[in-house]
């Protein structure tokens, strides 16, 4: 695809990721108001909550109540909920508001244990059950390959290893796979490498990028993924968030406003209502601690 041709990009806004590691509980009413504003912006998808143990992620213990109160009546955005096991999936599929179930499958055995207290092998077995639930309830499974750009634990990481995971997911009929940075180790070189390896080889898969970044490196990372053919990008307004299970010093999520500015320079269409987006940014400044 030529860079001077306009291309449509899907932006997945991730307030769930922005909120999940915060110590002070954001009131349920504030979460509902914020999500309802995000639903006016025009994002393809909103990663809005999770059905996981409240002991693990206490900030999102009110996801069910939040989902019952959000207003999808005039929004084209779809809702994604993160699940970490069969029980969470069984809860998530009961919500008509939910289109996507997102599951974190780590390329790192160490991080899989940290994040979900499961081995990779057990997680893959879980995915079989979760995919069956998705199909039965007309939901779509999104698998996040965490530690997708390398890991700090010395666990295996190379092209053939990543492809093993992709091929296993294809046997489960997974259609959307997002490569997640998790700890900010991605750089333009490995971003280009991995997407250039995967996207041409597996055209039946929609590959996404869930990147963490310092503000200074957003443009070069987004540009690298875009030029390698990626058209699905996760972000969070003002770059809030990070994975609390990594137990390391983290850089934050990609700042959505920086991503949008970058896509403008790449002549890529994002379908955003700028006035609604500006209001969402103002709300984020009031909701999230600085």
pTM of the model: 0.93
Angle between helices 256-265 and 274-287 (to 10 degrees): 150
- Alpha helices by DSSP H, listed for 120-255, are 120-136, 159-171, 188-198, 218-227
* Predicted local confidence at residue 223, as pLDDT: 98
Predicted pLDDT at 220: 97
CB-based burial label for 40 (10 Å; 0-12, 13-18, 19+): middle
d(C-alpha 175, C-alpha 169), whole Å: 8
Neighbours of 223 (CB within 10 A): 18
Q: What pLDDT, on the 0 to 100 scale, is given for residue 1?
A: 39
pLDDT in tens, 243-260: 444 344 455 789 999 999
pLDDT of residue 96: 97
**Which pLDDT score, from 0 to 100, does residue 290 have?**
62
Nearest to 123 by CA among 105, 107, 138: 105
Residue 2 has a pLDDT of 41
Per-residue model confidence (pLDDT) at position 92? 98
Ordered mean pLDDT values, 10 residues apiece, the chain (290 residues): 66 95 92 98 98 93 97 96 96 98 96 90 96 98 96 92 97 97 89 97 97 90 98 94 47 89 96 97 87
């Amino acid at each position: 695809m030529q860079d001077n041709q306009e291309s449509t990009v899907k932006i997945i806004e991730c307030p769930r990721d922005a909120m999940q590691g915060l110590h002070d509980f954001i009131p349920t009413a504030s979460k509902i108001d914020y999500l309802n504003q995000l639903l006016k912006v025009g994002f393809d998808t909103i990663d809005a909550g999770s059905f996981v143990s409240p002991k693990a992620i206490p900030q999102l213990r009110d996801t069910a109540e939040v989902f019952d109160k959000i207003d999808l009546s005039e929004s084209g955005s779809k809702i994604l909920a993160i699940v970490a096991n069969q029980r969470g999936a069984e809860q998530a599929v009961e919500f008509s508001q939910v289109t996507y179930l997102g599951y974190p499958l780590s390329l790192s055995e160490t991080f899989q244990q940290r994040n979900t207290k499961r081995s990779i092998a057990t997680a893959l077995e879980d995915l079989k059950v979760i995919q069956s639930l998705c199909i039965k309830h007309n939901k779509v499974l999104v698998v996040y390959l965490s530690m997708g750009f390398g890991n700090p634990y010395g666990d295996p990481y190379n092209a053939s290893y990543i492809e093993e995971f992709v091929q296993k997911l294809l046997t489960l009929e997974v259609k959307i796979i997002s490569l997640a940075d998790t700890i900010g180790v991605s750089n333009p070189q490995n971003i280009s490498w991995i997407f250039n390896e995967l996207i041409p080889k597996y055209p039946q898969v929609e590959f996404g990028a869930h990147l963490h970044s310092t503000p200074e490196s957003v443009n070069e990372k987004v540009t690298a993924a875009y030029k390698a053919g990626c058209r699905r990008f996760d972000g969070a307004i003002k770059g809030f968030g990070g994975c609390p299970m990594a137990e390391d010093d983290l850089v934050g999520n990609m700042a959505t406003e920086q991503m949008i500015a970058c896509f403008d320079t790449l002549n890529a269409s994002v379908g955003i209502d700028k006035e609604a987006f500006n209001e969402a940014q103002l709300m984020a400044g009031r909701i999230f601690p600085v």
